[in-house]
Structure 1
Amino acid sequence: MARILWYSSEDRIKQSNMFKFIGFVNRRFSLAIQEYDELYHWSVRNISDFWAAFWDFAQIRCSSPFDCVVDDVGKMPGARWFEGARLNFAENLLRYRDDHSALIFKAEGRPSIRMTYRQLYDEVAGLVISLKALGLKPGDRVAGFMPNMPQTIIAMLAATSLGATWSSCSPDFGIKGVMDRFGQIAPKVLFTADGYFFKGKPVDCLERVADIVPQVPSLEKVVVVPYVNSKPDISGIPKAVRFDEFKTASTDTEVEFIQLPADHPLYIMYSSGTTGLPKCMVHGAAGVLINHLKELMLHTDVKREDVIFYYTTCGWMMWNWLTSALAVGATLVLYDGNPFYPDEGALWQMAQEEKITVFGTSAGYITALRNTGLIPKEKYDLAALRTLLSTGSPLSEEGFAFVYDAVKANIQLASIAGGTDLNGCFALGNPMGPVYMGKLQCRGLGMKVEAFDEDGRPVIGRQGELVCTAPFPSMPVCFWDDPEGAKYHGAYFDTYPGVWRHGDYIEINAHGGVKIYGRSDATLNPGGVRIGTAEIYRQVEQMEEIADSVVIGQDWKNDVRVILFVRMAPGFELTESLKQKIRQTIRVNASPRHVPAKIIAVPEIPYTLNMKKVELAVKNMVQNKPVLNKDALKNPEALDCYTGIAELRTD
């Protein structure tokens, strides 16, 4: 049994939204549920009752109620959710209109900027007038090429209040990366900033925008937010206008929130695009709203008095997730810049100053922070902090230990996992339950998640494919430009008909916790035994000599052999003795099957724009297969060093 790192106090349990929801369910259905595990199993056995109860508990605003929760709980894909309901996503996020802080914006080296809920509503109202005058209507697409700043949220809320569909990507994307996304969906309006800051330096966006706009003939207006410069020169950009000149000055204008069906397209999200053009996943308004609120209110225990932060760009689904916390009335902290600038304590200084209660980041950041030697709890006052969230990749046991040793002992560490595909999580936190070393606390309520073995049977205590065997509200409504649904079906349902195959390799424990072993399509299979790459990364990232690594399985002599590429830390070389140390560490702490056949030093490790290692792209390069879309990578030039390696042609 894994070591328990944290227990919730009795007082914290009874004050949690989860505890209150259990009481709500017990009263409504005459039940006697006491523990999370009981609630979870009830929620997946009674899917319609669960989602109907949470709709009421979350007080979702709608002008017409739904006729039924889901038309066919046995149908996947194709189940229809909340038919008959009419609502507006933005109206639910703008339900508060007072002087409570809605947004705190912190940019590199600049003082924080605050915006109240009243100010946020007024800013949205002014932009709605301008967009309406432009002729924006339900179903039109509005794109954001923006930093994580208040104007991005304002633009999204204004667009969706009118029924338009929002889609965004990070301003560090190159021209082809932007075109691969926005070029598919034909947006009518583009919001962009003139630039952004990174490591203390301004980075221009307008030159790229000037090249992008002529290639997107659907664009009727380009709205430029001054950020790097107070009066940026936009003369070289067709159809451009500055944000402050475009937005109407609001004088207590009431926003007319267009009431729309539950499955009306709210967001278009994108796959990483490393195997071709990114898939464009269309998400419905009610599905995103109710699932985000479930995760925020119940699993993260976010309340009105909370100050919640997630280190994210607008190209990652965690931006969409964070933004939904406005519906709870919490204060959102937005950060633009490098998390280690001007020093490794930048985010913790901000956490101290803004009294952040929920701090979200990636496993990669925690690993990088650990390698700096900083002990945040010794330098910063983190008394307000009660929950730390981690996602993006599996968090190692050493990462768990670091959080409790170096950040705060009395903290709920919620490692969470899901994806852009569902705009949410399959496994995440439970404020009522303990935190076990290296484990995600629980499967998400209403998500019938199982691990399938090689024969497609559910297993407990063994590694298997992450699947979801019943529909859930935040499944994509469809893929863009996929009229027959072939792309959608092929992405999730070809392997197990009627069952969502997510592509992660997991183990579900007897106590309900989940361990992630990495992507199943990158799972190694030496000698016919499946092992996850995360088990190797966990051992390697502990070593001071290694700055980063990537693992692949190379097809070799009718089998698969494990190849480990390492980027050395400054001052170290990959000697034979270090190779032996690496192999011995992996052998002792993982298994002999995890030991790499080859360990090779490389100058760089390739990552997607969302900072995920691209194991399959590396494998393709090694095996002289094409990588179809290098523009989906943050550092595509890094792949060049994986071709023609003589050592990989020998035993």
Structure 2
Amino acid sequence: MAQPIWEPTPSDVHAAQITRFTRFAEQRHHLTLPTYGDLHRWSVENLGDFWQTVWDHFDVHSTTPPGPALTTSAMPGATWFAGSQLNYAEHLLRQGDPDSVAIIDAAELGGRTSTLTWRELRRQVAALARTLRSNGIGPGDRVVGYLPNTAEAVVAFLATAALGATWASCGQDYAVPAAHARLGQLEPAALITADGYRFNGHVRDRADAAAELRSLLPTVRLAIAVDRVGAGVAGMTAWSDATDGEYPLEPLPVPFDHPLWVVFSSGTTGVPKGIVHGHGGVLLEQLKITALHFDLGERDTFFWFTTPSWMMWNSLVGGLLVGATIVCYDGSPAFPAVDALWDMADRFGVTLLGTSPGYLLGCMKDSPSDLRGPRALDVLRGVGVTGAALPASTAEWLVHQLGPRVRIASTSGGTDVVTGFVGSAPTLAVWAGEISGPCLAVAVDAFDPGGHSVTGDVGELVITEPMPSMPIRFWNDPDGDRYREAYYSMYPGVWRQGDWITITDRGSVVIHGRSDSTLNRHGVRMGSADIYDAVEQLPEIQEALVLGVEDSDGGYWMPLFVVLVPGIDLDDELRHRIVDTIRASASPRHVPDDIITAPGVPHTRTGKKLEIPLKRLMQGASPAAVVDPATVDAPELIDWYVQLAAARTAPDNPHQDATAARSTTPA
């Protein structure tokens, strides 16, 4: 029987915030909840009681008496804490000792690193809120950020929230058309931007891009520019002026569902979906995930490598809700070396470091036996991992490097709810290649195509009960049609996330990848993550992309694209080894039809491989219909796949590609 790679000790359980919360719930509701499973079961069977307990345990304030925690549990349409008046920023800004550090603003080597105390954070938020208010910006208006991951981005968001205005942001690595495709939808009243950022040893001057974006937003009445790289942005109010002075901090109480922010889907096709979340739902959900799952509190330092384009930036800001110090980082995770994040974790005394499976795989390949090296990492208690499935081999390597007392907190969720569906907890064991279990108050299940619950088999990840951070609506979707189509069209009244999962007999969860890019050969389904888990461990492979392409004639083509380490050729020996690895580690039924050397794998700006758009290209769809180059990290790669797809679908050669890059696997 497989053994856990991490198990909580009695002292871990005793010290965990989730234990204190459990005791509070037991006393409040006259319960006995000896295990995480018992607590989770109670939380999903008694949603109103659970969320009322969260509200009370974390002392959430409302200026009016709130109604019941959950009035109706319909999905969509659940009603939470009717009549309450609160503010996300108000709760956050009453945390923290005034003289302790709230934000560490770190920059890549060569840039500035500074700190912001809780006193200075509150002062800047109050001053910026006054500047916004004096320019007529208030409830219902939108304030947008085109910013790197810096302290200024956090201040801008909190000032916006304090006013009851709505925030949205994207990083400056987005080209202007991609930023405009998102932020322009909102018809913002204010733009907060920067003159540039640092990445991979270079200063990226974005002053002209910021000015261009401003010109494309005719509704903007106020534009503010942060000086990060010394370039400045002409014609905009300086950040230092916008945040100057001492003013009272007066967060405006708003209804529970009042819009807090708009976050955007990856947007690989069509206009990116703007997903609107409310103050109350996000506040409660982030308190739960940050304190009870991440186990963060006032003595912790929280660092998740992210950008303001991704929901993990919102989760990083949520660390402030429990008084933790957060690290905002403007730079590459792998400069000046691949282990740069570990250097920062050691330098800043990080207790929870968040990253991606891809980054960890890069560390494993670059320095497989000496991650800790000269670093003490003596306060590191956990490594959070999300964005893709974490291979078992990578998890085992990480535990070997960091030791058995560092919890590997693998999590899977979505921008849609800006939190996790399944994850880790300080009282749950961790198994390699698995996620420990469902998050509290998340009714996770796996459904087969007929809508029946399955255990031990692959199914669709569904949520059968409402969550307070489910979207209020989509932007520009007045009738809610796109919203319902996105989540409820397959199983009416049940949220379908679009991921394949397996719920094991012990309650842990295995993520297999996106259900709409699933490999379905001869009726046997497999997620692409299973193939990547096997193939990307080979030292010759930098990255892989697998597609399952259903042809109009009933055929099925499953190519594997591999990006090779420089100097390596795809010869017969390596090709056979790839096939043998997939047979042994994934499935003999899912050996690819072709192995093709590719110049690279394109991703969304949030790091997801473009499986579905590239699959549609191979089926003959036009490039313009399936992918917007502005949303892709390396758009020049798209042309290579377009040419391959055109050759494959040519009338005289419908099932073969004609490129020299092709390498056919043995039968």
Alignment of 1:260-279 (within 5 A): 260-279=254-273
Corresponding residue for 1:131?
132
- Written as runs of structure 1 = structure 2, the 5 A alignment for 1:134-145 is 134-145=135-146
| 2:195 corresponds to | 194
Aligned to 2:92: 93
Shift of 1:26: 0.8
What is aligned with 2:245? 249
CA shift at 1:566, angstroms?
0.5
Give the superposition deviation at 1:169.
Answer: 0.3
Q: CA deviation at 1:217?
A: 1.0
The offset of 1:619, in angstroms, is: 1.1
Tell me the alpha carbon deviations over residues 186-210 of structure 1, each in whole angstroms, 9 at most, x when there is no partner: 1111110100011121111121122
Q: How does 1:336-347 map to 2 (within 5 A)?
A: 336-347=330-341
Counterpart among 586, 589, 592 of residue 588 in structure 2: 592
Post-superposition Cα deviations, 1:242-283, rounded to whole Å, max 9, x if no partner, equal 111223312xx3211101000000010001111211000000
Contact 1:526–1:561 (Cα < 8 Å) also in 2: no
In 1, the alpha carbon distance for the partners of 2:605 and 2:223 equals: 24
Q: CA deviation at 1:429?
A: 1.0
Q: Which AA in structure 1 matches 2:80?
A: W
Question: Who is 1:639 aligned against?
Answer: 638
Task: Identify which of 586, 607, 610 aligns with 1:614.
Answer: 610
Check conservation: 1:565, 1:599, Cα contact below 8 A: yes
**Whole-angstrom CA distance in 1 between matches of 2:498 and 2:175:** 27
Residue 111 of structure 1 and its aligned partner are, at CA, apart by 5.2
What residue in structure 1 maps to residue 150 of structure 2? 149
Deviation at 1:510, TM superposition (A): 1.8
Tell me, in whole angstroms, the C-alpha distance in 2 between the residues paired with 1:191 and 1:245.
Answer: 13
Instruction: Find the counterpart in structure 2 of residue 414 from structure 1.
Output: 409
- How far does residue 62 in structure 1 lie from its aligned partner after superposition? 2.2
Task: Give the alignment partner of residue 508 of structure 1, picking from 479, 503, 508.
Answer: 503
For the residue of structure 2 that corresponds to 1:488, the secondary structure is helix
* Structure 1 residues 65-119: Cα deviation after superposition (integer angstroms, max 9, x where no partner): 321112212x100112111110011011101351111011110114531111111
Closer, same or farther in 2 for the Cα pair 1:515/1:102, shift >3 Å? Answer: same
User: Is the 2:459–2:502 Cα contact (8 Å) retained in structure 1?
Assistant: yes
Q: Given the superposition, is the C-alpha separation of residues 124 and 167 from structure 1 closer, same or farther in structure 2, using an over 3 Å criterion?
A: same
Q: For 1:486-525, what aligned pairs fall within 5 Å after superposition?
A: 486-525=481-520
- SS of the equivalent of 1:118 reads helix
Q: In the alignment, what sits opposite 1:451?
A: 446
Match of 1:22 in 2: 22
CA displacement 1:291-349 (0-9 Å, x = unmatched): 01100100111111001100000111011111011111111111110111111221111
2:471 maps to 1:476: yes
Is 2:650 aligned against 1:649?
no
| Aligned position for 1:335 | 329
Secondary structure of 2:320's partner?
Answer: helix
Which of 575, 585, 596 is matched with 1:579 structurally?
Answer: 575
**Structure 2 residue identity aligned to 1:590:** A
Q: Which amino acid in the other structure matches residue 178 of structure 2?
A: G
Q: Distance in 1 between matches of 2:232 and 2:351?
A: 40
Matched, 1:316 2:310: yes
CA distance in 1, matches of 2:643, 2:343: 46
Name the aligned partner's letter for residue 182 of structure 2.
R
Does the 8 Å contact 2:208/2:233 carry over to 1?
A: no
Equivalent residue, structure 2, for 1:569: 565
Query: In the alignment, which residue of structure 2 is the partner of 1:298?
Result: 292
1:629 Cα deviation after fit: 1.9
For 1:333 and 1:483, how far apart are their aligned partners in 2? 38
> Structure 2: which amino acid aligns with 1:295?
I
CA contact (8 A) 2:127 2:242 kept: no
CA distance in 1: counterparts of 2:410 and 2:305, whole angstroms? 14
Give the aligned partner of residue 83 of structure 2.
Answer: 84
Matches within 5 A, 1:324-403: 324-373=318-367, 375-403=370-398
Which region of structure 1 is more displaced relative to structure 2, 220-229 or 400-409? 400-409
Task: Tell me, in whole angstroms, the C-alpha distance in 2 between the residues paired with 1:465 and 1:379.
Answer: 44
In 2, the alpha carbon distance for the partners of 1:130 and 1:211 equals 23
Q: Which amino acid aligns with 2:292?
A: L
**The 10-residue stretch of structure 1 (516-525 or 201-210) with the greater mean CA deviation from structure 2:** 201-210
Contact 1:148 1:312 in 2 (8 A): yes
Amino acid at match of 2:276: V
Which position in structure 1 is the counterpart of 2:480?
A: 485
2:628 alignment counterpart = 629
Q: CA deviation at 1:64?
A: 2.1
Q: What SS is found at the alignment partner of 2:519?
A: coil
Code of the residue aligned with 1:385 in structure 2: it is L
Assess if the C-alpha contact under 8 Å between 2:147 and 2:192 holds in 1.
Answer: yes
Conserved? CA contact 2:194–2:233, under 8 Å: no
| Structure 1 residue ranges without an equivalent (≥5) | none
Structure 2 partner of 1:56: 56
Preserved CA contact (<8 Å) 1:524 1:560: no
Moved more, 627-636 or 191-200: 627-636
Q: How does 1:437-448 map to 2 (within 5 A)?
A: 437-448=432-443
Structure 2 runs not aligned, ≥5 long:
649-653, 657-663
Aligned to 1:281: 275
Distance, in Å, in 2 between the alignment partners of 1:105 and 1:246 is 19
Does structure 1 residue 106 correspond to structure 2 residue 106? yes
Confirm or deny: 8 A CA contact 1:390 1:414 kept in the other structure: yes
Q: Is the 8 A contact 1:377 1:408 kept in 2?
A: no
Q: How many residues align?
A: 643
CA distance in 2, matches of 1:594, 1:249: 64
Paired letter, 1:138:
P
Q: Structure 1 residues 187 and 489 mapped into 2: Cα distance closer, same or farther (>3 Å)? A: same
Residues 536 and 590, structure 1, Cα contact 8 Å, conserved in 2: yes
SS in 1 for 2:396: helix
Cα distance in 2 for partners of 1:620, 1:98 equals: 54
CA contact (8 A) 2:458 2:500 kept: yes
Are the aligned partners of 1:67 and 1:83 in contact in 2 as well (CA < 8 Å)?
yes
Q: Which amino acid aligns with 1:397?
A: A
CA distance in 2, matches of 1:421, 1:58: 24
Q: Which moved more, 1:259-268 or 1:620-629?
A: 620-629
CA distance in 2, matches of 1:2, 1:551: 29
Counterpart contact for 1:262–1:285, Cα < 8 Å? yes
Distance 1:507 1:234 in 2: 51
Deviation at 1:620, TM superposition (A): 1.9
1:415: Cα distance to partner?
Answer: 0.4
Distance in 1 separating the partners of 2:337 and 2:492: 50
1:17 deviates by 0.9
Could you tell me which amino acid in structure 1 is paired with residue 151 of structure 2? Answer: P
1:644 Cα deviation (Å)?
A: 3.8
Deviation at 1:640, TM superposition (A): 1.3
SS at match of 1:51: helix
Q: Does 1:465 align with 2:466?
A: no
Q: Distance in 2 between matches of 1:591 and 1:246?
A: 59
TM superposition shift of 1:524: 0.9
Q: Distance in 1 between matches of 2:321 and 2:643?
A: 53
Contact kept, 8 Å, 1:300 with 1:431, in 2: the verdict is yes
In the TM superposition, what is the alpha-carbon distance from 1:575 to its structure 2 partner?
A: 1.2
Contact persistence 2:182–2:274 (CA under 8 A): yes
Q: Does the CA contact (< 8 Å) of 2:225 and 2:232 recur in 1? A: no
Q: Distance in 2 between matches of 1:496 and 1:221?
A: 45
- Offset of residue 233 of structure 1: 4.1
Work out whether 1:558 is the aligned partner of 2:560: no
Residue aligned with 1:376, SS: coil
How many angstroms does 1:214 deviate by? 2.0
CA contact (8 A) 1:622 1:644 kept: no
1:478-536 per-position Cα deviation (integer Å, ceiling 9, x unaligned): 01111100010111000100000000100111222111000001101111221111110
Cα distance, 1:555 vs structure 2: 2.1
Deviation sequence 1:161-181 (CA, Å, 0-9, x none): 000100000100011101110
